[in-house]
Amino acid sequence: MASEFKKKMFWRAVVAEFLAMSLFIFISIGSALGFNFPVSNNETSTKSQDNVKVSLAFGLSIATMAQSVGHISGAHLNPAVTLGLLLSCQISILKAIMYIIAQCLGAVVATAILSGVTSSLPNNLLGLNSLSSGINAGQGLGIEIIATFQLVLCVLATTDRRRNDVSGSAPLAIGLSVALGHLLAIDYTGCGINPARSFGSALIANNFENHWIFWVGPIIGGASAALIYDFILAPRSSDLTDRMKVWTSGQVEEYDLEGDDMNSRVEMKPK
């Protein structure tokens, strides 16, 4: 792990995650905090909010950021995705930890800036995820698990280097998966599927009610997707030794993500 810690590409990737996460949060949550349609408890205080608009904003911002920094960091932009790729043995434990820290910091910084920009909005909770009326904790947890499961499954399948049938844009496919998750979950939980995104809003709004759902749900969904894809749908031939090598040093023949050649970083790019 120490050798990985000393590499410039490692720190470039961490900075890229922070910057891309900040832009993603500012754009996507900002789209839901319009002055014409202020949001409070997953509902607008005036006219009905356009869920399609918000879903597309989240999806397109993820696709844009993935296209922008995918060759540097892989553009995870989500602790659940990072966990899925860790369990799939595509990144090291050290990189996963640093990515998650960078993602959370980026979300907090972006939400704090949005707090200043939208300070005059009434009942402004800064995109806080919360359970809608009539939805209990178990139901909300189930929604978060399913929505995150399909996202991480899409990431793993779209970026699988063993495939030669992916001819379209991987970032766009993943962005559409994010939009799909929001189309499902906005009316139930406000759609977390990203613990860092939920943490930023909860911290700046100082409201952690039911916040555990937006960590536990995505973690279960992301881990389940990784294990099912890696061991059932598309098993890998690598043995335990190779997997341990990735977790400790981040270097393996199939997923050599630590080289100085930026073209070797393929997490968000089809083969």
Domains delineated in the chain: 4-34+50-118+125-241 (1.20.1080.10)
**Tokens at residue 29, please?**
């949550």
pLDDT in tens, 32-55: 887 565 555 665 554 456 789 999
pLDDT value of position 2: 61
Query: For residues 232 and 80, what is the distance between their CA atoms, to the nearest angstrom?
Result: 20
**The amino acid at 10:** F
Higher pLDDT, 258 or 82: 82
- What's the whole-model pTM score? 0.85
Q: Are 82 and 196 a contacting pair, CB within 8 Å? A: no
pLDDT value of position 29: 93
DSSP-derived letter for residue 264 is: G
259-265: average pLDDT: 41
pLDDT band for 100, please (50, 70, 90 cuts): very high
Lowest mean pLDDT among 79-88, 114-123, 136-145: 114-123
Sign of the C-alpha dihedral computed for residues 30, 201, 193 and 147 taken in this order: negative
Q: What is the mean pLDDT of the chain?
A: 85
